[in-house]
Amino acid sequence: MKTVYEYSHLGGSEILQVRYPEIDAQINDVIAKINDVPKIKESKEKTMSGRMLYSPKVTLIY
**pTM, to two decimals:** 0.55
pLDDT tens per residue across span 20-59: 999 999 999 988 888 777 777 888 888 888 888 877 666 5
Which residues have a Cβ under 8 Å from the Cβ of 41 and sit 6 or more positions away? 52, 53, 54, 55, 58
Q: Residue 15: is its pLDDT beyond 90?
A: yes
> Do residues 35 and 1 make contact, with C-beta atoms less than 8 angstroms apart?
yes
